[in-house]
């Protein structure tokens, strides 16, 4: 896959830092919120830049999935921030970021994320993504390998065994009983901000993206993480994704659902730390 031309000097208009992060208890001073305007579009991110693990530790970017914002990364992000520099953006159109003039597909979102990472001078990151975010992450890894040193794909979509809007919605409904009830406090506000049209249109555009076709071009070390009780990205599909990756392997967390980063954060944080430490070594 052809690599796009890096954009080292994006049109950064304004950056405003806020001490307290709105939403789900991201405690200062470790965490702060930041609004960054890139190419005329405002991005919101939760940032914990202190590197307790030392300057050699790579930055970690946590990329959310469909409808939700980065808020549902809170349980695993707070654990990772004890030793790593962590960045949790909201993709425009979701969470506290601005709405783009049109609904972004996977390609547009990957390009937008690249410009935001350029604005923050993030290079050689560990890009951790969940659900639809995995499709964006793999495309960014192909287009801009300078930005992504390694990948962690959590519950990657879209399993071709349910390759329709109705099929995906049915699987989503089946996942709900396995998730932490506290996740509703994030799901509902995020869904209301996004709105039903943006949610369904983004799901439709995600179904049109053929992630499997580009997996052989993802050369970065990649860990594919699945939950034993995840009906959206079931274990056989997780294993298939890992097999297509030149440098990939899969791990299944027992009893975990789709939003592993919220409902099984302790297990996931340990897996991420071991993966980062092994690659550093």
Instruction: Evaluate if pTM is beyond 0.95.
Output: no
Phi, psi of 237, deg, nearest 5: -70, -40
pLDDT over threshold 60, residue 136? yes
| Each residue's pLDDT tens digit, 140-197 | 999 999 999 999 999 999 999 998 999 999 999 999 999 999 999 999 999 999 999 9
pLDDT over threshold 70, residue 16? no
Query: For residue 278, what pLDDT is reported?
Result: 79
| Each residue's pLDDT tens digit, 221-276 | 999 999 999 999 999 999 999 999 999 999 999 999 999 999 999 999 999 999 99
Spatial separation of the C-alpha atoms in residues 60 and 129, rounded to whole Å: 10
Q: Band of the pLDDT at 2, cuts 50, 70, 90? A: very low
Note the CATH architecture for domain 22-280. 3-Layer(aba) Sandwich (3.40)
77 Cβ contact partners less than 8 Å away, ≥ 6 residues apart: 26, 46, 48, 62, 86, 88
CA angle 88, 90, 95 (to 5 degrees): 130
Q: Band of the pLDDT at 277, cuts 50, 70, 90? A: confident
Cα atoms in the Cβ-side hemisphere of radius 13 Å centred on 127: 31
| Each residue's pLDDT tens digit, 32-84 | 889 999 989 999 999 997 655 556 789 999 999 999 999 999 999 999 998 99
Query: For residue 5, what pLDDT is reported?
Result: 45
Q: Higher-confidence residue: 278 or 242?
A: 242
Region 193-207: what's the mean pLDDT? Answer: 94
Each domain of the chain, given as residue ranges in start order, spans: 22-280
Torsion of CA 271, 273, 279, 281, to 10 degrees: -130
pLDDT over threshold 70, residue 204? yes
pLDDT over threshold 50, residue 134? yes
């Amino acid at each position: 896959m052809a690599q796009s031309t890096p954009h080292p000097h994006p049109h950064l208009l304004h950056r405003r830092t806020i001490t307290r992060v709105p939403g789900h208890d991201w405690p200062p001073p470790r965490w702060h919120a930041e609004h960054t305007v890139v190419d005329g579009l405002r991005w919101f991110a939760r940032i914990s830049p202190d590197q307790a693990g030392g300057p050699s530790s790579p930055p970690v970017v946590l990329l959310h999935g469909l409808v939700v914002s980065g808020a549902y990364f809170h349980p695993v992000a707070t654990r990772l921030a004890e030793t790593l520099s962590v960045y949790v953006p909201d993709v425009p159109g979701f969470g506290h970021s601005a709405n783009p003039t049109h609904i972004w597909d996977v390609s547009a979102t990957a390009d937008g994320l690249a410009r935001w990472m350029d604005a923050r001078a993030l290079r050689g990151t560990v890009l951790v993504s969940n659900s639809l975010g995995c499709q964006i992450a793999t495309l960014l890894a192909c287009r801009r390998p300078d930005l992504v040193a390694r990948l962690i794909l959590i519950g990657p979509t879209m399993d071709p065994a349910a390759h329709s809007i109705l099929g995906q919605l049915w699987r989503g409904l089946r996942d709900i009983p396995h998730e932490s009830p506290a996740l509703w406090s994030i799901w509902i506000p995020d869904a209301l901000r996004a709105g039903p049209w943006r949610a369904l249109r983004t799901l439709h555009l995600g179904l049109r993206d053929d992630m499997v076709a580009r997996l052989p071009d993802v050369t970065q070390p990649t860990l594919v993480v699945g939950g034993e009780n995840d009906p959206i990205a079931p274990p056989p599909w997780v294993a298939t994704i890992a097999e297509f990756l030149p440098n990939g392997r899969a791990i299944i967390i027992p009893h975990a659902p789709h939003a592993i980063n919220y409902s099984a954060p302790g297990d996931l944080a340990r897996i991420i730390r071991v993966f980062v430490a092994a690659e550093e070594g």
